[in-house]
Copies of this chain bind each other. A is one copy, B any other.
């Protein structure tokens, strides 16, 4: 059996101009990065006569190995094109840190991949590097500011702007900087996050254009004065310089699938510690040019879809016409209590028990008023009895479940799903928002926790309560909330699988992200910088004299 990178290496790619031509983009609207990658100059006007339909692909709570959401997304888009429904992809670009850690890449798998996979999984067109350097240039400017005259009296103890890296580096989570004496700055405690969790990443993904990005960068609160007044990037005079560093990164990237479906791969915030959706600009570009756009939102629907519908929707100005919830037999058995090592064995009872996880995700989407279909992402170890059991369980709750074999068969294995998706998307939907923006921050957190997660109530730490009071004083109540939570459970306890209820959801701390336009609520012990495992993927990678790479997933 071929590995992902071997399949990708054997692919016959089309020149990116040909992919662009499929959606009517001309050469002068492209900035090429080699023959198979390009950035697209925006804005792109909506093409008349196109349907401009949006399909959102999300998932159940995953096992640590992931449930192949990107794989199903790619296979689905290829299948829709094969069936004559003109479809384009809008998805996130991978973070490089996890590629060298445990997770591997994020470009689909098997015969449903976006390519060139090794470029996309590594530096790609430099978007994350531009974000890293913009973020850290701002950090250096701030530390330089407090070392100099510090006219605004920015309090070194109250700086909330952290540095970032696109590396899984736990040793940088908590650091003391500015050591070494008078000329090396002012010592203070701070830390690094992964770039995908940064506010600049969220800003890049939510900005409508370069000037909107500049406005948002200006609104970033970097810290507080000794009198606890928030200090913004605009007040410090750094907004233009930081925007200059992002002038190319804001342009959507165009690549292709193995089957030559155009794919806008742009913006990559994680969904557990950030808002988890690809860029508004990429999604809008795809919508403008196509009958159908297939997009995704990270991890399970409790994180990704919720944030798509409650945050990204606000600037995108468009709700999905259909939602696909990806489930695997293995993850449902995992949610039903089976150990990771035993997931290959048939277990109908565990499947039935774990089904509650899928059920709640589906109901949540239905509560938003959106049409939904379940995609059963097929694994070799799935038995016929298991597949039939799952289909029956779905039928009982009135939702269609379709087997998708995107990994082994590409679009050919995903055509049944494609037909169902097109039917759903072509019917009218009636979207109902989860909460009103007028609610206080705490009520918005409660709305997500009780209605989506199934929590009984929410407990705020003393610190969080104190923060909420100052946020009200600062006039920040009207913003949506972005909850940082484990992807493995509906709750804030990653071992509570299935569909836990009757639990209290804990908020440890808030982080205001005025540039992104939301308030982050940190639950449980969520970390904003991943670590490397005992045997990092890096150890098994090789490259030879022809540049052939092995061990990259």
Partner-B contacts on A (CB < 8 A): 31-35, 39, 96, 100, 122-123, 126, 129-130, 132-133, 136-137, 139-141, 143-144, 147-149, 165-180, 183-186, 189, 209-211, 214, 237-238, 240-241, 243-245, 247-248, 531-532, 534, 536, 538-539, 541-543, 545, 547, 549, 551-552
User: Closest CB-CB distance, A368 to chain B, in whole Å?
Assistant: 35
Is B532 a contact of A140 with CB atoms below 8 Å? yes
* Whole-angstrom CA separation of A217 from B173 in the bound complex: 27
* Whole-angstrom CA separation of A243 from B545 in the bound complex: 11
Which residues of chain B have C-beta atoms less than 8 A from A143's C-beta? 169-171
Is B184 a contact of A547 with CB atoms below 8 Å? no
Which residues of chain B have C-beta atoms less than 8 A from A130's C-beta? 123, 129
* Whole-angstrom CA separation of A177 from B531 in the bound complex: 14
- Using A34-B32, A210-B547 as known contacts, say yes or no to A144 and B185 having CB atoms under 8 A apart: no
Is B244 a contact of A543 with CB atoms below 8 Å? yes
Is A173 a contact of B180 with CB atoms below 8 Å? yes
- Using A210-B547, A241-B100 as known contacts, say yes or no to A532 and B144 having CB atoms under 8 A apart: yes
**Among the interface residues A536, A542, A549, which one has the most CB atoms of the partner chain B within 10 A?**
A536
20 A-B pairs besides A183-B531, A247-B547 with CB distance below 8 A are A31-B35, A32-B34, A34-B39, A123-B130, A129-B130, A133-B166, A133-B167, A136-B169, A139-B169, A139-B171, A140-B168, A140-B171, A140-B172, A141-B532, A144-B532, A174-B179, A179-B189, A238-B539, A244-B543, A244-B552
Identify which of B39, B133, B185, B538 contacts A238 (C-beta below 8 A): B538
Is B169 a contact of A174 with CB atoms below 8 Å? no
User: Closest CB-CB distance, A229 to chain B, in whole Å?
Assistant: 21
* Whole-angstrom CA separation of A176 from B174 in the bound complex: 9
- Using A241-B100, A532-B140 as known contacts, say yes or no to A247 and B184 having CB atoms under 8 A apart: no
**Nearest CB in chain B to that of A176: its residue:** B176
* Whole-angstrom CA separation of A403 from B168 in the bound complex: 54
27 contacts between A and B (CB under 8 A): A31-B34, A32-B33, A33-B33, A100-B137, A122-B244, A123-B129, A126-B126, A126-B129, A129-B133, A136-B169, A139-B171, A140-B168, A140-B170, A141-B532, A144-B536, A170-B178, A170-B183, A173-B185, A175-B177, A176-B176, A183-B531, A237-B539, A238-B538, A238-B539, A240-B543, A243-B543, A247-B547
User: Closest CB-CB distance, A43 to chain B, in whole Å?
Assistant: 12
User: Closest CB-CB distance, A35 to chain B, in whole Å?
Assistant: 7
Which residues of chain B have C-beta atoms less than 8 A from A186's C-beta? 171
* Whole-angstrom CA separation of A214 from B39 in the bound complex: 31
* Whole-angstrom CA separation of A209 from B126 in the bound complex: 23
Is B536 a contact of A141 with CB atoms below 8 Å? yes
* Whole-angstrom CA separation of A174 from B241 in the bound complex: 26
* Whole-angstrom CA separation of A32 from B173 in the bound complex: 37
* Whole-angstrom CA separation of A171 from B173 in the bound complex: 16
> How many monomers of this chain does the complex have?
2
User: Closest CB-CB distance, A549 to chain B, in whole Å?
Assistant: 6
- Using A123-B133, A532-B144, A538-B137 as known contacts, say yes or no to A179 and B175 having CB atoms under 8 A apart: yes
Is A545 a contact of B248 with CB atoms below 8 Å? no
Is A543 a contact of B210 with CB atoms below 8 Å? yes
Is B136 a contact of A167 with CB atoms below 8 Å? yes
Identify which of B32, B148, B243 contacts A32 (C-beta below 8 A): B32
Which residues of chain B have C-beta atoms less than 8 A from A166's C-beta? 133
Is B240 a contact of A542 with CB atoms below 8 Å? yes
Which residues of chain B have C-beta atoms less than 8 A from A240's C-beta? 541-543, 551
What are the 6 closest A-B residue pairs judged by CB atoms, nearest first?
A129-B129, A174-B180, A241-B538, A140-B169, A171-B185, A174-B179
* Whole-angstrom CA separation of A547 from B129 in the bound complex: 20
* Whole-angstrom CA separation of A186 from B123 in the bound complex: 29
Which residues of chain B have C-beta atoms less than 8 A from A34's C-beta? 31-33, 39
Is A185 a contact of B170 with CB atoms below 8 Å? yes
**Among the interface residues A122, A139, A166, A177, which one has the most CB atoms of the partner chain B within 10 A?**
A177
Which residues of chain B have C-beta atoms less than 8 A from A243's C-beta? 543
Is B244 a contact of A549 with CB atoms below 8 Å? yes
* Whole-angstrom CA separation of A547 from B183 in the bound complex: 36
* Whole-angstrom CA separation of A139 from B165 in the bound complex: 12
Is B178 a contact of A543 with CB atoms below 8 Å? no
- Using A32-B33, A170-B185, A241-B100 as known contacts, say yes or no to A534 and B210 having CB atoms under 8 A apart: no
Which residues of chain B have C-beta atoms less than 8 A from A178's C-beta? 170-171, 174
User: Closest CB-CB distance, A472 to chain B, in whole Å?
Assistant: 31
Which residues of chain B have C-beta atoms less than 8 A from A552's C-beta? 244
**Among the interface residues A149, A180, A247, A538, which one has the most CB atoms of the partner chain B within 10 A?**
A538
Identify which of B126, B238, B545 contacts A210 (C-beta below 8 A): B545
User: Closest CB-CB distance, A455 to chain B, in whole Å?
Assistant: 26
